[in-house]
Amino acid sequence: DELVHRGQERFNIYCSACHGLDGYARGSVEVRSEQLGSPLNAKSLHEDGVRARVDGHIFNTITNGIRNMPGYSAQIPVADRWAIVAYVRALQLSQNAPPSVAGAAVNPAQASR
């Protein structure tokens, strides 16, 4: 819980401007760039291709950047980058939970079986 919470804090500071608080790529910088006619084309973190990426790929993207996204190695310490990865996974799960996980959340008695 502590790691994911730290990741959420860091995500909200560094990532949400483009990716949005919900991860759907509708952050304030992304929206404004579209209004100016020069969209950044931030990726939704909920796209199948992004969800399929291994944790190390997401960590590397935060570290070194990709396409229009700059690297954040100078601003975000290594431990916080991994915390962001953990939060991104939790965010993705919250929007695309498999039935086994979603059912357990609805019926906690199922989770103990």
- pLDDT digit of tens for each residue in the chain (113 aa)? 999 999 999 999 999 999 999 999 999 999 999 999 998 899 999 999 999 999 999 999 999 999 989 999 999 999 999 999 999 999 999 987 777 765 555 555 554 44
- pTM confidence score: 0.84
What is the reported pLDDT for 113?
A: 47
Long-range contacts of the stretch 5-12 (C-beta < 8 A, 24+):
6/80, 6/83, 6/87, 7/80, 7/82, 7/83, 7/84, 7/85, 7/86, 7/87, 7/88, 7/90, 8/87, 8/90, 10/76, 10/80, 10/83, 10/84, 10/87, 11/84, 11/87, 11/88, 11/91
pLDDT at 99: 74
